[in-house]
Amino acid sequence: MKLKNYALGQWVEGEGQGQELYNAINGEVVALASSKGLDFNEMMNYGRKTGGPVLRKMTFQERGQMIKKLAMHLYGMRKQFYPISAATGATKGDSWIDIDGGIGTLFAYASLRKKFPNESYYVDGETAALSKGNTFVGHHIMVPKQGIAVHINAFNFPIWGMLEKVAVNLLAGVPAIVKPATLTSFVTEAMFKEIIASGILPEGALQLICGSARGILDHVTSQDVVTFTGSATTGRMLKSHPRILEEAVPFNMEADSLNCSVLGEDAIPGTAEFDLFVKEVRKEMTVKCGQKCTAIRRVIVPEHLLEDVQIALGKQLAKTTIGDPSVEGVRMGALAGKVQVKEVHERIQELLKSSEIVYGDLENFNVLGADKQKGAFMSPILLRNDDPFNKTDVHDIEAFGPVSTILPYKNLDEAIELAQMGKGSLVCSIATANPKTAREFVLGAASHHGRILVLNEEASKESTGHGSPMPLLVHGGPGRAGGGEEMGGMRGVEHYMQRCAIQGSPTMLTAVTNQYQYGGKQVEKDVHVFRKHFEDLEVGETVITAKHTVTVADITNFANVSGDHFYAHVDETSLEGTMFEGRVAHGYYILSKAAGLFVDAKKGPVLLNYGIDECRFTKPVYPGTTIGVRFTVKEKIEQEKRDEDDIAKGIVKFLVDVYDETNETVAIATILTMVKKLNQG
């Protein structure tokens, strides 16, 4: 079977014979891959000019709904990809991480749409006051880049690697070209066909290259984004491409790294943490045959527990049955190909110059249900290095397979130093029940790691483990890990957007952002805002309320109702040495009274008030002070109907500006209301 590329809206076979791709279990050819004849420059321009404009016009809510629809579509047919994935040597559990994990990331980013406005852009952060009179202010706005994302992915996760990246660029409004590692691209192509066949994505939103993409970086521009997952050596070569440098193209690199796991000194044999540690190391050595960028390569343990860990790990690894994933009882399949086996063996030989094998054998091991000579099988290999501060190969050489090395430490400072000697990692973990140990280790090691898992008995019931990047947390790391960062919830989306500082009057920036900027023009209408449906409300629309003079009785009554008898509100004799000139009104009374002033009590489109985003009490209010409220529509947020019977509604943020007789603000807050839509369709 010859794989097809998806370019310029069509499925295209590459010219020539193509590269042979093999079944990792039996060595048979499963596909041919070629990209010869593709015009990469034309593909990039097609994405920029065809997919880009459509995606950029869509709002975050529309993009998120599109991603959700795609996730549901793929989830319904996910099982058909498992047999295809098995040809890469993956067990069912391995395939679940790749396939279901990838689809799960789509769902996560689809849900993230709720964090963004129903606009094509995003207003970032808070308004910056740039002048004394507040007639000149600044803000930041983020808009989709007008280029294309080029995703160069690794062979170990042909589905997750694609979906965890495209979920983010699609939500941001940027099209992409996906370049999976050719070795396992037959799995990516199978799912990509279903993505295109679904018709869910606009034309030009995604393209696929199954063969070589050599030369594609010659055509990138400053508006494009390049992401790379793979070896640090290849990543550095691509990152230094002249075009990347000349055009200042954002390049996100996520490289394989020498991740570690640390056993706390308190986690002695017999404790839950010791058992959890051993289980986690065994899992990270054998899941995907250790072919994970997050796998544990260095096992850092107290020197007096070295033998205990070695014995316990050996017993656990001995339970690992190697063979054909389709055979019942097989716990570990094969590496992705014989080339990988050869490379891993070579790295092990380098490590053996300073370490010794304490579990496993490179040649003598049993394989269930398959021919060991035809498949890409190998045994888990556990090494031991007794002098990791002087014999440092273990901190420089990675065997990208089921291989880990045990290293001893004398105290926590040494454990932190050993963790740092990896020169930057995607992830490390520590198993400890001691909060002080956890704090000291995290603060000492965080500078050299993209993520740290603290594992104890309490977290173990729901922990996703050392090796599982989560969509809402950043994935990446410093130094050897590439210095990049992807996913991370909203942070990941921002990588595909341009942040622009905008300056002007509050009224002008209100018009630009569609969010009311404090000090901007306020428009009063004849009809109270609580009498209007969601569609009829305008940003900047304001109710100027009646006024109220605060009395001592107000303060006393509120203290009795609320139970808040704080001395500043009720005891004038206790104010010496404080900032107050006399008894002062409760801040929450001021806010409550403000509500009494701005609320229209009759039944109308406002369904409920469900929260306060921000609230500040900026000036003391004493008896005799007269307050009023400027109640302004600050922002409107679309809300989706949960089902056909749900009420169509939206969220309206109102700015509550409480001021006194000198026109100074005494309290300011943002309240959230749920407002019914006029159109219930």
Among 402, 384, 401, CA closest to 393: 384
Looking at residue 109, its pLDDT comes to: 92
The residue to which tokens 């963004």 are assigned:
116
Q: Using CA atoms, how far apart are residues 120 and 123, in angstroms rounded to an integer? A: 10
Q: Is 56 helix (H, G, I), strand (E, B) or coil?
A: helix
Q: What is the dihedral of CA 199, 201, 205, 209, to 10 degrees?
A: -50
For residue 151, how many C-alpha atoms fall within 13 Å in the half-sphere facing its CB?
Answer: 29
- Phi and psi dihedrals of 53, rounded to 5? -60, -35
DSSP structure string for 164-197: HHHHHHHHHT--EEEE--GGGHHHHHHHHHHHHH
Looking at residue 237, its pLDDT comes to: 87
Contacts of 307 (CB under 8 A, 6+ apart): none
* CB-CB neighbours of 508 under 10 Å: 16
Does 150 have pLDDT greater than 90? yes
Beta bridge partners of 226: 150, 251
Q: Using CA atoms, how far apart are residues 664 and 301, in angstroms rounded to an integer? A: 62
pLDDT bucket at 259, cuts 50 / 70 / 90:
very high
Cα distances from 20 to residues 23, 182, 186, 188, 251, in angstroms, run 10, 9, 11, 16, 30
Tens-place pLDDT, residues 571-608:
888 888 888 888 899 999 999 999 999 898 888 898 88
Q: What is the dihedral of CA 513, 519, 524, 528, to 10 degrees?
A: 80
Mean pLDDT of the chain: 91
Q: Using CA atoms, how far apart are residues 658 and 667, in angstroms rounded to an integer? A: 5
Is 254 labeled as catalytic in the residue annotation? yes
Residue type for position 126: E
Does 9 have pLDDT greater than 80? yes
Q: Tell me what percent of the residues of the chain surpass a pLDDT of 70.
A: 100
Looking at residue 385, its pLDDT comes to: 96
Residue 161 and residue 180 in contact, taking contact as beta carbons nearer than 8 Å: yes
Which domains are seen in the chain, by residue range? 40-127+141-255 (3.40.605.10), 260-471 (3.40.309.10), 522-676 (3.10.129.10)
- Phi and psi dihedrals of 479, rounded to 5? 55, -125
Q: What are the strands of the beta sheet with 122-129, ordered from one edge?
A: 122-129, 137-144, 497-504
Mean pLDDT value across residues 306-335? 91
Does 459 have pLDDT greater than 90? no
Cα distances from 410 to residues 202, 421, 435, in angstroms, run 58, 16, 19
Residue 161 and residue 519 in contact, taking contact as beta carbons nearer than 8 Å: no
* CB-CB neighbours of 599 under 10 Å: 15
Looking at residue 589, its pLDDT comes to: 93
Is 293 labeled as catalytic in the residue annotation? yes
Looking at residue 315, its pLDDT comes to: 93
Q: Using CA atoms, how far apart are residues 420 and 414, in angstroms rounded to an integer? A: 10
Looking at residue 310, its pLDDT comes to: 94
Does 40 have pLDDT greater than 90? yes
pLDDT bucket at 559, cuts 50 / 70 / 90:
very high
DSSP structure string for 427-454: -EEEE-S-HHHHHHHHHHHGGGBS-EEE
Mean pLDDT value across residues 473-495? 87
Tens-place pLDDT, residues 609-620:
888 988 999 999
Choose, from 13, 119, 189, 254, the residue flagged as catalytic.
254
Q: Using CA atoms, how far apart are residues 449 and 259, in angstroms rounded to an integer? A: 9
Does 460 have pLDDT greater than 90? no
Looking at residue 170, its pLDDT comes to: 96
Q: Using CA atoms, how far apart are residues 327 and 313, in angstroms rounded to an integer? A: 25
Choose, from 293, 485, 541, 635, the residue flagged as catalytic.
293
Does 28 have pLDDT greater than 80? yes
Q: Using CA atoms, how far apart are residues 578 and 618, in angstroms rounded to an integer? A: 16
DSSP H or E run through 475: strand 474-475
Higher pLDDT, 404 or 602: 404
Tens-place pLDDT, residues 324-356:
888 888 888 899 888 888 999 999 999 999 999
Cut 0.85: pTM above it? yes
